[in-house]
A and B are shown apart, each in its own frame.
Chain A
Amino acid sequence: MKDIQPSGRGFLDYAPAPESTAILHLRDSYGLFIDGEFRDGRGGSFATISPATEKRIAEIAIASDADVDDAVAAARRAHSTVWSKLSGADRGKYLFRIARLVQERARELAVAESLDNGKPIKESRDTDVPLVAAWFFYYAGWADKLDYAGLGANPRALGVAAQVIPWNFPLLMLAWKIAPALAAGNTVVLKPAETTSLSALLFAEILQQADLPAGVVNIVTGTGATGAALVRHPDVDKVAFTGSTAVGREIAKAVAGTHKKVTLELGGKAANIVFDDAPIDQAVEGIVNGIFFNQGHVCCAGSRLLVQESIHDEVVDRLKQRLTTLRLGDPLDKNTDIGAINSAEQLERIRTLSDLGEQEGAERWTAPCEIPENGFWFAPTIFTNVQTSSTIAREEIFGPVLSVLTFRTPAEAIAKANNTPYGLSAGIWSDKGSKILAVADKLRAGVIWANTFNRFDPASPFGGYKESGYGREGGRHGLSAYLQPGRVEVAEEPAKRRSGAGRVEVAEEPAKRASRSRRPAKKGESK
Chain B
Amino acid sequence: MTMQTTALAPAERAVRLLGGDLTERSLRQYLEGLSGVDAVGLEQRAEGLATRSIKTSSKAWALDRIIELIDLTTLEGADTPGKVRSLVAKAITPDATDPSTPRVAAVCVYGDMVPAAVEALGAAHGDPDDGLVSVAAVATAFPSGRASLAVKLADTRDAVAAGADEIDMVIDRGAFLAGNYGRVFEQIVAVKEACRRDDGTFASLKVILETGELNTYDNVRRASWLSILAGGDFIKTSTGKVAPAATLPVTLLMLEAVRDWHRLTGEYVGVKPAGGIRASKDAVRYLVTVAETVGEQWLQPHLFRFGASSLLNDVLLQRQKLRTGHYSGPDYVTID
Which A residues contact B (CB, under 8 angstroms)?
A: 1-2, 4-7, 9-17, 122, 126, 277-283, 285-286, 325, 334-335, 431, 451-452
Contacts and interface: CB of A to CB of B under 8 A. Distances in A.
Given A12-B291, A451-B38, A281 B256 contact: yes
Given A14-B53, A17-B53, A286-B41, 11 more contacts: A1-B233, A1-B268, A10-B61, A12-B292, A12-B296, A14-B54, A17-B55, A279-B35, A281-B37, A282-B45, A334-B53
A325 B296 CA distance: 11
B36 interface: yes
B108 interface: no
B52 A14 contact: yes
Given A1-B268, A279-B41, A325-B292, A11 B287 contact: yes
Contact of A4 (B53, B268, B287): B268
Contact of B54 (A5, A6, A9, A17): A17
Interface in B41-75: 41-42, 44-45, 51-59, 61-62, 65
A161 B263 CA distance: 57
17 contacts: A1-B233, A4-B297, A5-B297, A7-B296, A11-B58, A11-B61, A12-B296, A14-B52, A14-B58, A16-B55, A17-B55, A278-B36, A280-B35, A281-B45, A282-B45, A335-B52, A431-B35
Chain B CB within 10 Å, residue with most, of A279, A286, A335, A431: A279
A307 to B, nearest CB: 14
Contacts of B268: 1, 4
Chain B CB within 10 Å, residue with most, of A6, A13, A16, A282: A282
Nearest to B252: A281
A12 B52 CA distance: 11
A285 B51 contact: no
Given A282-B41, A285-B45, A4 B52 contact: no
B230 interface: no
Nearest to A282: B41
B295 A334 contact: no
Contacts of B303: 4
B127 to A, nearest CB: 8
Interface string B230-266: 0001000000000000000000000010000000000
Contacts of A325: 292
B52 A451 contact: no
Contacts of B38: 279, 282, 431, 451
Nearest to A326: B292
Nearest to B296: A11
B228 to A, nearest CB: 15
Nearest to B217: A279
A285 B296 contact: no
Chain B CB within 10 Å, residue with most, of A11, A16, A280: A11
B296 A281 contact: no
B300 interface: yes
Given A7-B297, A10-B296, A12-B296, A285 B58 contact: no
A431 B54 CA distance: 35
Nearest to A19: B53
Nearest to B60: A15
Nearest to A2: B129
A451 B54 CA distance: 30
A334 B42 CA distance: 21
A15 B37 contact: no
Nearest to B256: A281
Contact of A452 (B40, B56, B61): B40
A451 to B, nearest CB: 5
A10 to B, nearest CB: 7
A126 B296 contact: no
Contacts of B292: 12, 325
Contacts of B37: 279, 281-282
Contacts of B44: 285, 452
B51 to A, nearest CB: 6
Contacts of A5: 297
B295 A6 contact: yes
Interface string B298-322: 0110110000000000000000000
Interface in B7-49: 35-38, 40-42, 44-45
A286 B44 CA distance: 10
A11 B62 contact: yes
Contacts of A13: 58
A338 B38 CA distance: 25
A66 B300 CA distance: 68
A339 to B, nearest CB: 15
A367 to B, nearest CB: 14
B69 to A, nearest CB: 12
B36 A431 contact: yes
A12 B55 CA distance: 12
Chain A CB within 10 Å, residue with most, of B35, B62, B65: B35
Contact of A278 (B35, B42, B287, B300): B35
Nearest to B57: A15
A279 B42 CA distance: 10
